[in-house]
Amino acid sequence: MKPTDLPPHISRQYDKELEDVRERVLLMGGLLESLLDRTIEVLDSGDRELAVQVAESDYQVNAYEVSIDEECTEILARRQPAASDLRLVLAISKTITDLERIGDELEKIGRILIKQIDADTPRSRYVGLRTMAARVRDLLHETLDAFTRMDSHRALELIKEDEKIDEEQDSILRQLITYMMEDPRTITSTLDIILAVRALERIGDHAINICEYVVYLVEGKDIRHITLEQARREIEERG
């Protein structure tokens, strides 16, 4: 009996499993988006309780990772997917690792913000951090959107935008270093803000990794370590 001869309900059940695991990835991503929203709110309002929420939500993210990973292993073991289904399951397995690490970075940022609020750091010191957080939230949102629609062209565009975030980061860091130089008493607290900026940068890197999996999923091409130009050319050549 070939797979296509399977009774329809079995095949439908399998489709449902794949759809279910994809949906749960989006739920996990949505949780991280909302944590980034809360981070921005903390930067605007100085709300300590909200910062504690950001610092302590990691366990929810982790629970998602473990359970989705189990689902993926289960599907691989029972369904033995081939071709594009196999790529989907592998891409999901990698995506949730990146999402989980975004959770780790958010936890660090939350802890830093609690310290800053307790130390009454002037709000003006956060301007760059806030800009960066908004950028990264947009990037994550669009990444999850590209993932939902399996839009590899959009994913490639997002990969390119990453350079802009890096440039922005450099100018924010230079600004923060100026604060340190002008008033060495602020060194310790400014250093924490710098580490929060770097954590946001890494969240951006994880989003970009996910964009690369989307391209891999749709185009069947591993673009992780080829240049953007090459990737674009190869995709265009296929139409």
Interface contacts to a copy of itself, rule CB under 8 A:
59, 62-63, 65-66, 69-70, 73, 76-77, 80, 82-83, 86-87, 90, 93-94, 97, 177, 180-181, 184, 187-188, 191, 194-195, 198, 222, 224-225
Shortest distance (Å) from residue 117 CB to a copy of itself: 21
* Contact by Cβ (8 Å): 78, 87: no
Asked if 217 and 120 count as a contact pair (C-beta separation under 8 A), the reply is: no
Q: Which is nearer to a copy of itself, 93 or 116 (CB)?
A: 93
Q: How far is the CB of 148 from a copy of itself (least distance, A)?
A: 23
* Residue number with CB closer to a copy of itself (115 or 224): 224
Q: List phi, psi (to 5°) of 110.
A: -55, -45
Q: Which residue is listed with tokens 């473990």?
A: 66
Q: Which is nearer to a copy of itself, 3 or 45 (CB)?
A: 3
Q: What percentage of the chain's residues is helix, strand, coil (to nearest 5)?
A: 90, 0, 10
The residue (of 154 and 199) whose beta carbon lies closer to a copy of itself is 199
Instruction: For a copy of itself, give the closer residue by CB, 18 or 90.
Output: 90
Which is nearer to a copy of itself, 90 or 134 (by Cβ)?
90
Kindly give, in sequence order, each residue whose CB lies less than 8 Å from that of residue 182, ignoring residues fewer than 6 positions away: none
Q: 198 and 69 in contact (C-beta within 8 Å)?
A: no
For 42, phi then psi, to 5°, come to: -60, -40
Q: How far apart are CA 14 and CA 158, in angstroms?
A: 32
Nearer to a copy of itself, 49 or 229 (CB): 229
| Minimum distance, C-beta of residue 116 to a copy of itself, in the bound complex (Å) | 16
Q: How far is the CB of 28 from a copy of itself (least distance, A)?
A: 13
Minimum distance from CB of 121 to a copy of itself (Å)?
16
**CB 15, min distance to a copy of itself, A:** 19
Minimal CA–CA distance to 156: which of 238, 80, 230?
230
CA distances to 38, 104, 151, 224 from 90, rounded to whole Å, are 31, 22, 17, 14
Amino acid type, 171:
S
The least CB distance from residue 78 to a copy of itself, in Å, is 9
